[in-house]
């Protein structure tokens, strides 16, 4: 077995550090690349741990939850089309921790209106977001193609201004301007859209 130098390990790690969340997810889904999954999870481990600790108020249960969530995330990422990992993992973590908290209190999930209300609220917000995304996709066809590309990258794919600059070769000022102009046009189109 060949020896791997520290430099090679650093180069591999740097490769994953430079990838966006969605690129890491795609790499994991297509090639079962556990390094990509590890990098993705390391970015959000602190978020998962702090949510778990806040809900469970028990350090050991929070640590166990982080491990459980990592395992389920590994399986679920292959099954689902996750567009925004940050909000998805936040929802998964809250759901998992509330489930543990309610089970530890000897409460049936069906009988716990607080838990059900929290879950219903999360589900309602997710459905509203999906509805808004669908409406946005419908009105995008009606705006300038260059502006549409900036809006799609920013709002639908979660790119930062700098990532859009790299993708489109526009200046950051042009990107911001096109997004602002598009927002005004889209708001007018949405206001005039009867489905909304």
DSSP state, 194?
S
Whether 151 and 91 share a structural domain: no
Total domain count for the chain?
A: 2
Residue 145 lies in a domain: yes
Whether 69 and 155 share a structural domain: no
Residue 112 lies in a domain: no
Angle at 175 between CA 136 and CA 147, to 5 degrees: 40
Q: Which of 106, 136, 158 is the last residue of a domain?
A: 106
Residue 134 lies in a domain: yes
Q: Which residues contact 96 (CB under 8 A, 6 or more apart)?
A: 52, 65, 68, 69, 72
Long-range contacts of 150-158 (CB under 8 A, 24+ apart): 150/175, 150/178, 150/179, 150/182, 151/178, 151/179, 151/182, 151/183, 151/186, 154/179, 156/83, 157/22, 157/83, 158/21, 158/22, 158/83, 158/84
Instruction: Round to whole Å and give the CA distance between 124 and 161.
Output: 29
Residue 117 lies in a domain: no
What does the pLDDT read at residue 134?
72
Whether 99 and 135 share a structural domain: no
Give residue 164's domain range: 123-196
What does the pLDDT read at residue 151?
83
Whether 94 and 148 share a structural domain: no
Residue 51 lies in a domain: yes
What does the pLDDT read at residue 165?
92
What does the pLDDT read at residue 144?
85
Whether 1 and 53 share a structural domain: yes
Instruction: Round to whole Å and give the CA distance between 45 and 143.
Output: 39
Whether 41 and 93 share a structural domain: yes
Whether 73 and 158 share a structural domain: no
What the block records as the tokens of 73 is 């995330």
Residue 162: CATH number of its domain: 1.10.10.10
What does the pLDDT read at residue 195?
47
What does the pLDDT read at residue 135?
75
Whether 92 and 13 share a structural domain: yes
Residue 72: CATH number of its domain: 1.10.1740.10
Q: Can you list the residues of the chain whose pLDDT is less than 50? A: 1-2, 4, 7-11, 107-113, 195-196
Residue 59 lies in a domain: yes
């Amino acid at each position: 077995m060949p020896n791997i130098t520290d430099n090679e390990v650093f180069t591999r790690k740097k490769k994953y550090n430079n990838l966006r969340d969605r690129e890491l997810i795609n790499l994991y889904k297509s090639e079962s690349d556990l390094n990509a999954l590890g990098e993705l999870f390391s970015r959000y481990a602190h978020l998962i741990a702090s949510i778990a600790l806040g809900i469970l108020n028990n350090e050991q249960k929070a640590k166990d939850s982080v491990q459980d969530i990592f395992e389920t995330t590994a399986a679920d990422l292959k099954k689902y089309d996750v567009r925004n990992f940050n909000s998805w993992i936040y929802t998964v973590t809250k759901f998992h921790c509330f489930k543990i908290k309610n089970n530890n209190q000897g409460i049936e999930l069906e009988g716990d209106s607080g838990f059900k209300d929290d879950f219903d609220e999360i589900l309602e917000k997710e459905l509203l977001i999906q509805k808004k995304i669908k409406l946005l996709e419908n009105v995008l066809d009606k705006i300038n193609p260059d502006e549409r590309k900036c809006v799609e990258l920013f709002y639908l794919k979660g790119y930062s201004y700098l990532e859009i600059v790299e993708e489109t070769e526009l200046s950051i000022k042009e990107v911001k301007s096109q997004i602002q102009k598009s927002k005004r046009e889209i708001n007018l189109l949405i206001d005039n859209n009867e489905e909304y």
